Amino acid sequence: MEPVTTSARSTEATFGGRLEGLGTILLRYGLVVILLWVGLLKFTTYEAEAIQVFVENSPLLSWLYDVVSVRTFST
């Protein structure tokens, strides 16, 4: 078995640094995609109808449906 030279160590360190940077980028933009996806779902009719039950039975928010529609309140 040959001893590891400094150039082999620097190559491993460079590869490790690149791999760590790639992992950081994938995690960051993966989280951005998930948050955008959830945020955009809030503007769909499905989500507006899903929260309608909670708003209609809320003593603080139920009056808003007299003023605006379900879809408008959701957005």
pLDDT of residue 23: 94
**Distance (Å, rounded) from C-alpha 18 to C-alpha 12?**
10
Neighbours of 47 (CB within 10 A): 16
pLDDT of residue 32: 97
Report the percent of the chain where pLDDT is more than 90. 24
Six-digit token string for 28: 């960051």
Tens digit of each residue's pLDDT (9 = 90 or more) over 1-21? 566 555 556 666 788 889 999
Task: Kindly report the average pLDDT of the chain as a whole number.
Answer: 83
Q: The pTM is what?
A: 0.55
Tens digit of each residue's pLDDT (9 = 90 or more) over 35-70? 999 988 888 888 888 888 888 888 888 888 888 888
pLDDT of residue 46: 84
